Structure 1
Amino acid sequence: MSHNNNNDGNIEGDISECPVDEETRLKWLEQNMKVNKSLNEDKLSMEREISGIPRTGQNGQKWIYPSEQQFYDAMARKDLNADKMDMKTVIPIHNNINERVWNYIKQWENVSSNNSQDSDDVNALSLTSFKGDSHKITPRAWIRHYIFGMDLPFDRHDWQINHKNSSNSSNVKIDYVIDFYMNKQEGVYLDVRPKLNSFEGCKRRILHLLGL
């Protein structure tokens, strides 16, 4: 690049004589913008959404869903072939399904879905623990598949909930099982019900069959 001396003795470059012409500079700028855009797209959010599900023993505090980055890292640790951009779709679906599960449990427990702060059953229901085991088939799923030829669920979760009786302050622990099925019309179909491993679970299933 040639240079000219100005009156102040400083060296000033003439951009018209730069060895990189304007067309090339624009191409470089365009390419750099594409690279920056790609980097931004690969960057996953660390923001976490607060669920509508109370945590047992936490004075009404709610469970918090994982961020896009946490979800992706968890899948990577399990050697699942996940695309980072899929997280922007997976996270809302994941959160929505969990909220649907909780609403079904509230129906089983006869707890209002529209609790207000003055309601007697506010925080009466809370989630104590949960675990997933897609390889463990529930008896109902086994019967549906091997006797009636229906599809197996793609996932299975076990949730333990705590139901506090406001009248006598007693706490009842109840296990729930959830089978997750794919349905072409509804998307993800959820089969949520109490386990038959306790008196309370059996009672709820019997009352449900009787329509009570």
Structure 2
Amino acid sequence: AGAPQSGCPVDHGGGGAASGGASATTRQGGEKGFVRAAARSAGADAHGDGAAECPVDHSGGAGGGKAVAYNVYSQPIDPRNAMPSPNQAPSAGQTVPLTTHRVKSSIPKGGADGTWDYPSPQMFFNALRRKGKGEDVSEDAVPAIVAIHNNMNERAWRELLKWEGMHPDTAGTARLLRFRGRPDELSPKARLKALLGYGEPFDRHDWVVVRGDGTELRYVIDYYYDDAASDKDEIPGLHSNDAVRSISMDVRPACDSVGAVVDRLRRLPTRVAESISKARAAPPATVAPTEVVSVEEAVGANPKEFTPLQRVQAKCAARHAELAACEGEAACAQASLALDVCVAGVVCPDKATAFISALESGADAEKAYEAVGDCIASFRDKNGDL
């Protein structure tokens, strides 16, 4: 067989914002951003070829469920087949003993009975050594690495169940059937969010669940890292909600069916409001304060005296300054898009809302953005250049 196409439900080694050169360490070691370092190291085991190499047990168990079970390659397997025993023996040169205890997850297996099992710290360390990355990882740090991965899996599953709860007939019946790591593939939503200034996710995973009625549904999970929040990170318990504040995730059903699109549209009101608020929140201007014209300086203190052009200039001054000061094609493209969204939010808020809605739902965002561009062009024809 070729290289595995699947990995653990949280492969933090996929690169992007979370990748860094620091070696893994515990928080007690005092290194800032220990979660990022631990995540980077733990990701090395996620694409191996054995059941012991991922934070979930890919063996499918021996439950003999009626549904089809899958292995790490996303190939159907017979769940009754005996699988090789996981490697729990200490690695050569290992100086610190690691526990072989495996924690059971709360994530039900698809095609088999029971829930997925997480690897023991010893299994994780052995996998890192086999991949040639264990030399950079202290044995003392491995329990923290495992704890982070386990916690991320549980958080992702809870977010997924919120979507599943929208279907009372099958709520509570979802089981994780198979999954695939896609760290190098940005989803359309992630790509557009990056242009809006959110930054790229450091990893992506697709999880496929099977409901009690046999329906299979794919979910997309994007993982984001916030270095500014890393100082507040703690080694998490299995079900901690906010111990790892530097890692967030965007979980949503993939737009593979009409039903999935409808689900995303049903949750749009609050999600769109949040997205628009973030898109319009301008960071400090990158030019001198005297170059940014305030509302009062533009037309006085009475908003009724604003011309349409002055309203736009006052509202979007910081975004305009960012565009004027940007360097590099990517940065300027991001600044241009952010300015367009800001302008549209003033002169044609319905078009801005439609664009953000398309961004959130996975619909035709390019078409919605064209409508934003047409609106801005019409505004310029009537009121002059911005």
Instruction: Provide TM-score, normalisation by structure 1.
Output: 0.66
Matched, 1:69 2:122: yes
SS of the aligned residue for 2:156 comes to: helix
Which residue of the other structure, out of 97, 110, 118, is the alignment partner of 2:152?
A: 97
Contact 1:174 1:200 in 2 (8 A): no
2:220 and 2:254 in contact (8 A); partners too: yes
Q: 165, 168, 174: which one pairs with 1:125?
A: 174
Displacement after TM superposition at 1:141 (Å): 1.4
State the alpha-carbon separation in 1 of the partners of residues 269 and 104 from structure 2: 36
**1:51 touches 1:64 (CA, 8 Å); kept in 2?**
yes
Report the structure, 1 or 2, having the larger helix content.
Answer: 2
- Give 2:258's match in structure 1, choosing from 199, 207, 211: 199
Contact 2:165 2:172 in 1 (8 A): no
Counterpart code for 2:98: L
Bigger RCO of structures 1 and 2 (CA < 8 A, at least 6 apart): 2
1:152 to 182, 200, 211: 200
Structure 2 length-normalised TM: 0.38
SS at match of 2:184: coil
RMSD: 2.5
Q: Is the 8 A contact 2:164 2:171 kept in 1?
A: no
Q: Which contiguous aligned blocks of 4+ residues in structure 1 show a shift greater than 6 angstroms?
A: none
Identity of aligned residues (%): 32
Out of 109, 116, 120, the residue aligned to residue 164 of structure 2 is 109
1:174 aligns with 2:217: yes
1:84 Cα deviation from its structure 2 partner: 2.3
Amino acid at match of 1:174: L
User: Is it true that 1:84 corresponds to 2:139 in the alignment?
Assistant: yes
Alignment of structure 1 residues 27-42 onto 2, 5 Å: 42=96
Letter in 1 for 2:206: D
TM superposition shift of 1:204: 1.7
Instruction: Summarize the Cα distance change of 1:73–1:123 in structure 2 as closer, same or farther, 3 Å threshold.
Output: farther
Aligned pair in 2 of structure 1 residues 132, 83: CA closer, same or farther (>3 Å)? farther
Equivalent in 81, 91, 102 of residue 48 of structure 1: 102
Distance 1:152 1:190 in 2: 12
Which one has the bigger strand percentage? 1
Deviation readout 1:121-153 (Å, 9 max, x if unpaired): 6861110011222222221111122x2133211
Q: Distance in 2 between matches of 1:92 and 1:111?
A: 30
Distance 1:136 1:78 in 2: 23
* Counterparts of 1:201 and 1:75, CA distance in 2: 37
Asked whether the 8 Å contact 1:160–1:173 carries over to 2, the reply is yes
User: Match for residue 3 of structure 1?
Assistant: none
Letter in 1 for 2:177: T
Matched residue type, 1:108: W
Q: Is the 8 A contact 1:111 1:121 kept in 2?
A: no
Structure 2 gap segments, 5+ residues each: 1-92, 230-244, 271-386
The superposition leaves residues 38-65 of structure 1 with CA deviations (integer Å, 9 ceiling, x where unpaired) of x996222211100000001223x00001
CA separation of 1:159 and 1:199: change in aligned 2, threshold 3 A: same
Where 1:157 maps in the other structure, the secondary structure is: strand
1:104/1:70 CA distance change after superposition, 3 Å: same
* CA distance in structure 1 between the partners assigned to 2:193 and 2:128 by the alignment: 29
Q: Which runs of 5+ in 1 are unaligned?
A: 1-38, 113-119, 165-169
Q: Give the 3-state SS of the residue equivalent to 1:171 in structure 2.
A: coil
Greater C-alpha radius of gyration = 1
